[in-house]
Amino acid sequence: MVHTQGLIDAAFLDDPYPTYRALREAGPIHWSEDFFGGAWLLTHHADVDAALRDPRLSAQRTGGWVMDSAANRRHELLGFQQLFARAMLFLDAPEHPRIRRVLNAGFRADAMQRLAPRIKRLVDELLDSVDARSGFDFMQAVARPLPARVIAMLMGVDDADHDEFVDWSDDLAAFIGAARPTLDQARRAQASLVAMSHRFEALLAQRRRAPADDIVSRLLHAEAAGEIQAGPELLAQCAMLLFAGHETTRNLLGNGLRALLAHPAQWQALQRDPTPLPGAVRELLRYDSPVQYTGRRVACEMVLHGEQLRRGDLVLALIGSANRDPTCFTRPDVLDVTRREAKSLSFGSGPHVCIGAALTLLETETLLREVLRRWPRLGLAETAARWNGNPVYRGLASLPLRSP
């Protein structure tokens, strides 16, 4: 085991993979002071996968963020803690499976198929508005608005409200993604969460009067059937879906397109024949995962690789490292869109495995197919892309592109 400190610097935030490699080679488990005042880091694929399935590790972990950021002012952040902690991502059984059952239906393959033509229309609208010849920022013009509009459409949020929702959600991502959140980040996240839930309350009231074919109406139906509780439990799921629905997909679109354009032979091969695109999207997810790690709290004392994990300890499952583990992937640092090894942990594993995976894959494939068709000579502009500096939600702040 290595004791790490000072792991997260600018070089790590730009490219964490050399650090992951060094940690992986040094052993499967380390103690790090860099995260939330101290956490266990799991570096190997097998352990990350097992941890996400292990009932001795609890998904209830939001208290750590709040305590870490608020020091002696925890009372200020009670609103955040009480609301967001109810989201199913942070719950164990029996609450978690009860809520997951309600939401599953909204994300099934048939629901996705019904969405496909609407997603294609949105992709066309966004790409039509871009002047690719003179250059554009892909993040601002496409990667940011597309997933936000898709998840808003799915949930029943009004078009006019997108930008505000995205800004609120960015504040949540900055807080949740920080390895050591500051009080200021926590306050902003709380204010945004409260604003978001007020807007959802208004939408819920509307849908109570006139239900529609959207997730908010589905949640209300479940509330009437006694499957989900009105108030914070219901609002927390709305906020979580909206947040999870676009922070991550945005970064898959950006990281994925950047990686493809940096490998022109693979870009050109897909252009000649886009048939392998679904596999290519999986490889882009593995290669530069939009979620780099997730956490669990130790609920029962346990020993892992000889280390004693105590009740309450935080365990971070390093998905970004697992996806580059050479025991699972041949030449893991190489992007290979024809790769068949499908063990990437980018969507997690076990009971909390991503509910939005099919939606994300559909969005990304639809977009990339259209970009490949429209702009065969698309390339990275001279101005370099900028990373967002978020160690969890790894993504680009800007991705300047040009199609001569």
Residues of the shown chain interacting with ligand HEM in the complex, contacts defined by CB under 6 A: 52, 88-89, 100, 151, 240-241, 244-245, 248-249, 252, 290-291, 294, 346-348, 352, 354-356, 359-360
- Report, in Å, the least distance between residue 39 CB and ligand HEM: 14
Question: Is residue 32 within 8 Å of residue 16, measured between CB atoms?
Answer: no
Specify the residue, 143 or 189, whose C-beta has the smaller distance to ligand HEM.
Answer: 143
- Report, in Å, the least distance between residue 12 CB and ligand HEM: 19
Q: First-to-last CA distance in the chain? A: 51
Specify the residue, 59 or 189, whose C-beta has the smaller distance to ligand HEM.
Answer: 59
Helix locations, 156-182, DSSP H: 162-177
Q: Is 135 exposed, middle or buried (CB count within 10 Å of its CB: 0-12, 13-18, 19+)?
A: middle
Specify the residue, 88 or 139, whose C-beta has the smaller distance to ligand HEM.
Answer: 88
Specify the residue, 60 or 398, whose C-beta has the smaller distance to ligand HEM.
Answer: 60
Question: Is residue 392 within 8 Å of residue 292, measured between CB atoms?
Answer: yes
- Report, in Å, the least distance between residue 240 CB and ligand HEM: 6
Residue nearest ligand HEM, CB atom distance = 356
304 φ/ψ angles, rounded to the nearest 5 degrees: -130, 120
Cα angle, residue 189 at apex, residues 4 and 91 outer, rounded to 5°? 75
- Report, in Å, the least distance between residue 307 CB and ligand HEM: 21
DSSP sequence for 300-337: S-EEETTEEEPTT-EEEE-HHHHTT-TTTSSSTTS--T
The residue assigned the tokens 């097992």 is 50
Specify the residue, 332 or 356, whose C-beta has the smaller distance to ligand HEM.
Answer: 356
- Report, in Å, the least distance between residue 346 CB and ligand HEM: 5
Q: Are strands 29-32 and 3-4 parallel, antiparallel or unpaired?
A: parallel
Amino acid at 399: L
Specify the residue, 36 or 187, whose C-beta has the smaller distance to ligand HEM.
Answer: 36
Which of 206, 85, 88 has its CA nearest to residue 156? Answer: 206
Specify the residue, 50 or 183, whose C-beta has the smaller distance to ligand HEM.
Answer: 50
Question: Is residue 354 within 8 Å of residue 103, measured between CB atoms?
Answer: no
CB atoms within 10 A of CB 284: 25
The residue assigned the tokens 């024949």 is 273
- Report, in Å, the least distance between residue 293 CB and ligand HEM: 9
Residue 216: enclosing H or E segment and its boundaries?
Answer: helix 215-224
Question: Is residue 220 within 8 Å of residue 65, measured between CB atoms?
Answer: no
Determine if residue 75 is left, alpha or beta; phi over 0 gives left, psi from -120 to 50 gives alpha, anything else beta: alpha
- Report, in Å, the least distance between residue 401 CB and ligand HEM: 20
Amino acid at 99: I
Specify the residue, 251 or 403, whose C-beta has the smaller distance to ligand HEM.
Answer: 251
- Report, in Å, the least distance between residue 134 CB and ligand HEM: 29
- Report, in Å, the least distance between residue 133 CB and ligand HEM: 29
Which tokens hold the place of 56? 């001795």
Specify the residue, 19 or 169, whose C-beta has the smaller distance to ligand HEM.
Answer: 169
Amino acid at 9: D
